[in-house]
Amino acid sequence: MLLKKNIPFKYIIGKIKTELILVSAYTIGVAVLYKVFHFTHLAIPLAIPMIMGTVISLLLAFRSNQAYDRWWEARTIWGAIVNDSRSLARQINTFIQSDEEHTPLRSRFIRRQIAWCYSLSRSLRGQDGHYGIEKFVSRGDTQFIKNFNNSPMAILELHAHDLQKAVNNGLINTYQQVELDRTLSKLCDSMGKCERIKNTIFPATYSLYIHFSLLFFFLLLPFAVVDFFGFMSVPVVIAISAVFFLIEKMAIHLQDPFENKPTDTPMTAICFTIERDLKQMISEIPLHTEAKSTAKKYYIL
């Protein structure tokens, strides 16, 4: 997630560098033809690109809103994951007796929930969801999870097995099992919502048509302003094109919040927060060094 401060200018320009170079070369060519070779009949009324620019602005605004809605939904879902993970750990801590005999069960369940959060975040980013889970789960659980393509689902399955064993052994009653199962269902719902966002592609034709409209707009714009500005039309067109291209790029990046980019939902940082809180519930000291390493100068993953 991009932070409020210290976003480097080269990062912003780097996103539209190719487009600006092409627009600059094209605009210079039009200005040379008009001023040097006196192809004055190339000029067109300014009203033509103005009408197109107005329509494109509305389309870009609509697309940006839709892309931000996807990004914000992803962030809201991960906020729910934080709350449900804390609720699950609290329920396990309070429902199961806090004696030496049952402490390993509580610790195993809570540490496995930490593994679920990391596994889900890596899976959504197209990375190996099994990576790193051995730090939080036993060797037997690790082998069980690796038999599944969807590692977060396997971890929820292990949660359910432990709940069933706890009921059979009299560690929790049926009502407590229902409450815990309801929390697990919420986590499963959140996982499904994230996968829906990840796997639902933003309409490609919509993006393509807007991009082609932008290109056509910038093909006409130099012919409309060269009569007024001459060679100064080059920086004018570059400035206008930079604004439009940046808005388009912003929408493209926000529409996919799980792509391991600076504009992502900060799932890794959220997982560190969950790990810290849940480890403190079982009296473990969380490690903060890894959390600090994910914070870059201008974004956090």
| Encoded amino acid at 294, one letter | T
Residue 295's pLDDT is 62
The answer as to whether 298 is a domain residue is no
Closest of 52, 56, 46, 51 to residue 225, by C-alpha = 46
Tell me, what's the pLDDT at 14? 85
On whether residue 301 sits in a domain, the answer given is no
Domain count of the fold of the chain = 1
pLDDT of residue 291: 47
pLDDT at 201: 84
* pLDDT reported for residue 244: 92
pTM of the model: 0.88
Which structural domain range is residue 80 located in? 9-293
Where the chain has pLDDT below 70, the residues are 98-101, 286-296
The answer to the question of residue 3 being in a domain is: no
Angle of helix 17-35 relative to helix 204-229, nearest 10 degrees, comes to 30
If one counts every other C-beta atom within 10 angstroms of the C-beta of residue 47, the result is: 9
Does residue 300 belong to any structural domain of this protein? Answer: no
In a domain, 165, yes or no: yes
Tokens of 49: 């690109």
